[in-house]
Structure 1
Amino acid sequence: MVDPLVGSRSSGVVREIIQLRRGMQGLEQQLATGRKSQTYAGLGTQRSLSVAFRGDLARFESYHSSITLVELRLSITDQVLTRLDGVATEARGSMDPNIYQLLGDGRTQGQATAYNLLGETLSMLNSEAGGRHLFAGKDVTGKPVETINAIMDGEGNRAGFVQHRNERLLADSGDSGTGRLDISQPAANQVRLAEDGVHPFGLKIGSVNNGLSSTVVAGPSGTPSTFDIDFTAQPGAGQTLKINLILPDGTSKSVELVAAGAGQGGDGKFEIGASADETAANLAAALTDSLRKVSRIELGAASAMAAGTDFFDTANGGAPQRIDGPPFATATALRAGTESDTVFWYKGDNGTDPARNTATARIDDGLTISYGARANEEAFRVLVQNLAVFSSGTYTEGNQDDENRYSILAGKTLQSTSYPAGVQKLEQIAGELGAARSAANNASNRHTVKSGTLQTLIDGIESADLSEVSVSLLTQQTRLEASYRATSILFNMSLVNYI
């Protein structure tokens, strides 16, 4: 029989053993996990700090993940922009107005090069990274740009650029081939030049510089514009009439007609006749010939440039513009193409908001960057448009008018792809996106420092000192062993044994 006093003492020792075993289990767990506690409650008064620090750390890690994705996209975008700049340089090299050597298909080697560069440009504008098409604005899941074949040659019932270019040339040239200007003689001694209506096509009368004596010029005036020249007597040989014409692309061309003696007429000249009436008739005929020549050459090149703007300038929700015809030669207006009758070369988001704002990322507390882009932004569109315009025409060997028209068009596209003042440049887009990338990199560096600091603070609160835990564990083990011995002695003790 165990002494009651011994039983009482033994129960106290047992409780101490249980507490020691629990303490050892806790220490063993700390030694295994390296953490003071598996719950915040076990951290005592520092648990609120731990929770707050971990919340901050999670937020910075979220920012870091966002920055990593943005940097991937911006890196690829930067590579595309760098190559597009190279494409523009190569394109300018192909647009030499002085080299006119036709290949078998009626195009020059420069045009063939430009066509290949156009295909490469369109492919790059369809670039994708991290689940997002980089030049599609907000519509990130689909390719923003059509194929080169569809854009140039159309698809099914949908017209491409080449068809629109041909229709635009008809509208600019008119039925008589004088660029939609009418030449008439309301009186025998009078010549009238008039625009054939109020519309955006053909040649427009700018100004008239009259150097002919014995003549009276009235105008240009009115809408549509017109001017008259009346011969009151004969002008002198060598005297000139200069008419400044506005071409469809906004550039100008001067037509100069020189009075010449009998039998000395020809290109740019009109013969002084036997009477004022005959001289007026000669001027009308020479003016008709000059306008037809302008229509074949300068107007043809300017019409192609205007067609390029019609078809490709679709920013801010616009649609490709088409000639409101047939008939096209007498058309008086443009109309918006529809997706059923016209290839929309750009198919991405086409809102009126800034292109950069179509993709945003929050990279820090209160800091959001914008890094979106649209393929129909001016800098991209200028390159695509001029490559298409330059590469699309065909010419005839031995035709001087064709050679002159090619040279003028090459000069126009060369100037345009040089990005003159006032035109958005690829470098501007690169600079804007570069600023966003720099902000993301700076934020990433800040987050790295902050995350490291927070992790150190969290470790100070949550991590166990393994050396201290080992010492405590040995101490607890020693105490536990002593308790086991004491318990054993107590349970073996009795009054009989004592006596």
Structure 2
Amino acid sequence: MAIRTSGIIPGFGGTDFLQMKNQLAELQRQLGSGKKSETYAGLGLDRSLALSFQGSRSQVASYQQNISLVQTRIKIMDTALSGVQKTVASTKTSLTSIDFTLASGRTVGQLAASNSLDAVIGMLNSDDGGRYLFGGRQTGTPPVLDSAAIMAGQGTKDGFKQALLERMQADLGSSAASPERDAGATGRLTLSGAAASPITLAEDGAHAFGLKLDNVTGAVGGATATMTAGPPASLSIATGAGTAKAGENLTIGFKLPDGSTERITLTAVAADSPTVGPGQFRIGATQTETLANMRGALGDGLAKLVSTGLAAASATEAGEDFFKGETNAAVLAGPPAVQPGVAKRLVPGVSGTMADAVAFDTPANAENRTLRWYQGDRISGDPRATAAAQVDTAVSVTYGARADEEALRATIQNLAVASAVTFQNDDTLAKERYQALASRVASGLSGQGAAQTVTSIQIEIASANSNADAAKARHKETDAMLTGLLSDVTGVNNEELAAQIVALQTMMQASYQTSSMLSKLTLVNYL
């Protein structure tokens, strides 16, 4: 009779014990890792579900990474734009101060504008890990040159100060190095001589520079004013019927290069008046004498206007020429074609100077001799579309920006204009010229009448951030759901595992005990 010593169940051999041992090891592994299998193949029919859930989680993680990157960049951009606004507000306060103390030819307000220019340029050159955020699609280099280069130029290329001088020479009609202080500056108007009758005042040609006659209002007895529209426009004041009376006046309106207007009012005062103030003229013994006195008052008024309002308007317009530059697509088309934003430069007149300039140079020539302050992307239509990120299925946010956008360009432009003009203590009209300039710069920094403001840029970028936030919240919920579903497929029930382990251990122990007992059994013991 054969005695079995390998177990109590027929057919249950050593390989069965090895399988039980391996099964126990696998159950213990599952209990320790919390996973049914270390590989997808081990999941059996649930493998496709697990792969699908894991793929979805990976996509969500990719979106979340994009959102984190976008929101970091938007935060940097918003901080920069807020800094620009604070800097501008502080500068406006300094510029509108009544203080006219000069240091090296500039006021405290101008020095503040110069410091602000450096600060704003630094903010617009903000980057995230070497990616510049205000250059549109061009992200590898700072989009704005430093102020020293912008003002003075680089190499053979002129900067803003040279363009400013040439524009002021053209508007004021003077080739002097300081046209605003030139007593011979005409504002591009020709006034008849002191003894001439009638008085004539005429534009020196059909061009965009200098003062332009706009209108004449009021009446003075014994004088007849006649205006010819042109271009070029002209004004004639001749003797006429009647006699001038104290208090009567003529007002002549002028258009300035920056679109603003100024007026000179000529008011008659009695012949025996002890004083004759600015804009006043004495009534003479004859109409011819009265007309001569009126002409003297007009000449004085023009000289003052040229040195103050016109000089300030010219500086403001020079800023437009240099920083906004040429935007006319037909002109830029060439040939050769030139990208937008190239500075508008003047061609000398027949005198060989800018004093009688009548036209702008070609964009190609201007490009060759003028520095570009903005080095970023110039051709993208929508600045926001120059940077985009997908934050969800079929959902992208756009958050790009360019330093040459209207609001940002105008900020740099006006700060540069305020910084570039200098004054002298011995110039009796310097303070009034500064006030005319400061008011224009402050208006430009305020964005009055502008289609875009720094705040509007912030709002647009904040909208992208809000969309990213909404997607972030959705992904958080989706990830939690996918994690749960994946856990259901790949995870284990610890209570069930524990029960299986105990049952398996009990079976193995019983088998081992029985095998041990049978191994000691002999025929004698059996009988």
Q: TM-score, normalised by structure 2?
A: 0.84
- What secondary structure, in the 3-state scheme, does the structure 1 residue paired with 2:106 have? coil
Q: Distance in 1 between matches of 2:509 and 2:196?
A: 136
Q: Does structure 2 conserve the Cα–Cα contact (< 8 Å) formed by 1:233 and 1:276?
A: no
1:67 match: secondary structure: helix
SS in 1 for 2:356: coil
Partner AA of 2:27 in structure 1 = L
Counterpart amino acid of residue 100 in structure 1: F
Contact 2:376/2:402 (8 A) holds in 1: yes
* Preserved contact between residue 132 and residue 141 of structure 2 (Cα < 8 Å): yes
Q: 1:188 to 1:300 in 2, by over 3 A?
A: closer
Q: Corresponding residue for 1:301? A: 312
Structure 1 position 195 matched with structure 2 position 194: no
SS at match of 1:461: helix
Task: Give the match for residue 46 of structure 1.
Answer: 46
One of 324, 329, 344 as aligned partner of 1:313: 324
Deviation of 1:364 (Å)? 1.5
Q: CA deviation at 1:194?
A: 2.2
Counterpart for residue 26 of structure 1: 26
Give the CA deviation at 1:292.
2.1
Q: What one-letter code is carried by the residue in structure 2 that aligns with 1:136?
A: G
Task: State the match for 2:259 in structure 1.
Answer: 250
Query: Matched residues in 1 for 2:23 and 2:92: separation?
Result: 81
- Cα drift, residue 121 of structure 1: 1.0
User: Where do 1:275-354 residues align within 5 Å?
Assistant: 280=291, 283-314=294-325, 317-325=340-348, 327-335=353-361, 336=363, 338-354=366-382
Cα deviations across residues 377-397 of structure 1 (Å, max 9, x unaligned)?
222222222221112221111
Q: CA RMSD in A?
A: 3.2
SS at match of 1:39: coil
Say yes or no: does 1:142 pair with 2:141. Answer: yes
CA distance in 2, matches of 1:374, 1:498: 100
Between stretches 13-22 and 392-401, larger displacement belongs to 13-22
Confirm whether residue 223 of structure 1 aligns to residue 226 of structure 2. no
- In structure 2, how many angstroms separate the alpha carbons of the residues matched to 1:370 and 1:395? 46
Q: Report deviation, 1:329.
A: 1.0
Q: Does residue 205 in structure 1 map to residue 199 in structure 2? A: no
Is the CA contact (8 Å cut-off) linking 1:14 and 1:487 kept in structure 2? no
Q: Which digits, 9 at most, give the CA deviation of each residue in 1:161-182, with x for residues without a partner?
A: 1221111110001145221112
Deviations 1:67-106 (CA, angstroms, capped at 9, x unpaired): 1111111111121122212101110111125211112x11
Match of 2:185 in 1: 177
* Amino acid corresponding to residue 229 of structure 2 in structure 1: S
Cα shift at 1:116: 0.9
Q: Is the contact between residue 97 and residue 411 of structure 1 (CA under 8 Å) also seen in structure 2?
A: no
How far residue 272 of structure 1 moved from its aligned partner, in angstroms, is: 5.2
Displacement of 1:301 after TM fit? 0.9
For residues 315 and 272 of structure 1, the distance between their equivalents in structure 2, rounded to whole angstroms, comes to: 50
Number of residue-to-residue matches in the alignment: 495
Q: CA deviation at 1:58?
A: 1.0
Provide the C-alpha distance between the structure 1 equivalents of 2:94 and 2:196, rounded to a whole number of angstroms. Answer: 51
What does the per-residue CA deviation read over 1:356-380, in whole Å, with 9 as the maximum and x for residues that have no partner? 1111111112221111111122222
- Which segment is superposed worse, 212-221 or 73-82? 212-221
Structure 1 residues 196, 342: CA separation in 2 closer, same or farther (over 3 Å shift)? Answer: same
Q: Is the 8 A contact 1:10 1:491 kept in 2?
A: no
Higher relative contact order (CA 8 A, sep 6+): 1
Structure 2 residue identity aligned to 1:318:
G
- CA distance in structure 1 between the aligned counterparts of 2:356 and 2:487, rounded to whole angstroms: 82
Matches within 5 A, 1:80-479: 80-96=80-96, 98-103=98-103, 105-175=104-174, 177-184=185-192, 189-233=197-241, 235-238=243-246, 239-259=248-268, 267-270=278-281, 280=291, 283-314=294-325, 317-325=340-348, 327-335=353-361, 336=363, 338-479=366-507
* Stretch moving more, 330-339 or 358-367: 330-339
Range with greater deviation from structure 2 (351-360 or 463-472): 463-472
| Residue type of the alignment partner of 1:66 | N
Q: Which residue of 1 aligns with 2:59?
A: 59
- Aligned-partner SS, 1:405: helix
Classify the secondary structure of the residue corresponding to 2:478: helix
In the alignment, structure 2 segments of 5+ residues that lack a partner are: 175-183, 328-339
Instruction: Please say if residues 69 and 130 of structure 1, whose CA atoms lie closer than 8 Å, have aligned partners that are also in contact.
Output: no
Paired residue type of 1:324: V
**Alignment-mate amino acid for residue 248 of structure 1:** P
